[in-house]
Amino acid sequence: MSSDSTSSESDCIDITAEFLQAAKNIPNGQVVKSDLFSLLEGTRGLEILNLKLDTTLIKLSKEEENFNTELPLNLDYTLSICDKLLRHVFLWLNNSTLTSTVLSCRYMENLLVNYSKNVLFGINVCNFFDPADDEINIIIEKQQNISQIARKLKDYNFQLKNRENRENSESELMKEMNENQNLVLVHKILRSFFLGICHFILFSLTLSHTGLLLEEEDINTQSMDLTFLDYVDLKLILKEISSSIDWLENEFNYEMSSEIDKIENVELK
């Protein structure tokens, strides 16, 4: 083909016959590879038009296309997302691709896109806010607001428990608590769960690159050029998870002290 990208089809040269003739001389079991591309790129070509691998073939509804990961969710919905993501992790480990499992989740996509675009800001940009927003300060400010709301809810619970006239106090505080609680469930609790999953996937990918789990050219390790928090300190992720457990214990009066102890006692190397 002509080097001019705007050239018409008349500028193209048909090499079909020559190609087929040359292919006849290639012994079975031999691979011909140009220096212009890697074997990995050839492997990626297997995904094209493959119903199980090519995610571009998935038809999204208008509702799916416009799905907003910033909206608040109740506890049941939040837990269902955690459950579904964990199932996808096991599907990936059972020889499915990242693109058709973990990376098919919009929450995961937004979190990783935000991080990959702003790696230097570390865990501060690992969130579900719209990655189309190029103002990094806005993304960080939104996450800080969630932390403030979470602390405020904790204070509200303390006030409710310690007021003499609880019925009257509930009428003053419950409305704002209910509005903010579901927001924190997404941007604090769900977020910390995703951070933990990302680190586990990063650990698994690290093993695969050493040849312990998967072959080097395996398409299952391809992550669409997104990084799974490579430069985020594990201590920061554990801190986020521990904080989420503490908030859940306080908010829903559920004893989770043993789980917190397990996280705090993780040996970091």
Residue 242: name the closest of 193, 187, 186 by CA. Answer: 193
User: Please, what is the Cα angle at 135 between 132 and 139, to 5 degrees?
Assistant: 80
The answer to whether position 55 is within a domain reads: no
- Find the domain containing 170 and state its range: 70-264
**What is the chain's alpha carbon radius of gyration, rounded to the nearest angstrom?**
25
This prediction has a pTM of 0.68
232 vs 26, more confident:
232
Residue 195: name the closest of 155, 164, 225, 233 by CA. Answer: 233
Evaluate whether 100 touches 55 at the Cβ level (below 8 Å).
yes
* pLDDT at residue 269 in the model: 44
For the segment 144-169, the average pLDDT, to the nearest whole number, is 59
pLDDT at residue 237 greater than cutoff 90? yes
Question: 3-state DSSP call for residue 186?
Answer: helix
Look at 4-13, 21-30, 176-185, 258-267 and tell me which has the smallest mean pLDDT: 258-267
The answer to whether position 108 is within a domain reads: yes
The answer to whether position 172 is within a domain reads: yes
Cβ neighbours of 156 (radius 10 Å):
19
pLDDT at residue 181 greater than cutoff 60? yes
The answer to whether position 179 is within a domain reads: yes
The answer to whether position 54 is within a domain reads: no
* pLDDT at residue 24 in the model: 84
Q: Which helix (H) or strand (E) holds 206?
A: helix 191-209
pLDDT at residue 198 greater than cutoff 60? yes
For the segment 54-76, the average pLDDT, to the nearest whole number, is 85
pLDDT at residue 103 greater than cutoff 60? yes
The answer to whether position 101 is within a domain reads: yes
The answer to whether position 151 is within a domain reads: yes
How sure is the predictor about 196, in pLDDT bands with cuts at 50, 70 and 90? very high
Which amino acid, one-letter code, is at 219? I
238 vs 151, more confident:
238
* pLDDT at residue 164 in the model: 46
For the segment 180-197, the average pLDDT, to the nearest whole number, is 91
pLDDT at residue 132 greater than cutoff 90? no
Structure tokens at 4: 């001019």
3-state helix, strand, coil in the chain (%, to 5): 65, 0, 35
The answer to whether position 96 is within a domain reads: yes
Q: How many domains does the chain have?
A: 1
Q: Which long-range contacts (CB under 8 A, 24 or more apart) does 232-238 make?
A: 232/115, 232/122, 232/123, 232/126, 232/195, 232/199, 233/122, 233/123, 234/199, 234/268, 235/268, 236/122, 236/123, 237/123, 237/192, 237/195, 237/196, 237/198, 237/199, 238/263, 238/264, 238/266, 238/268
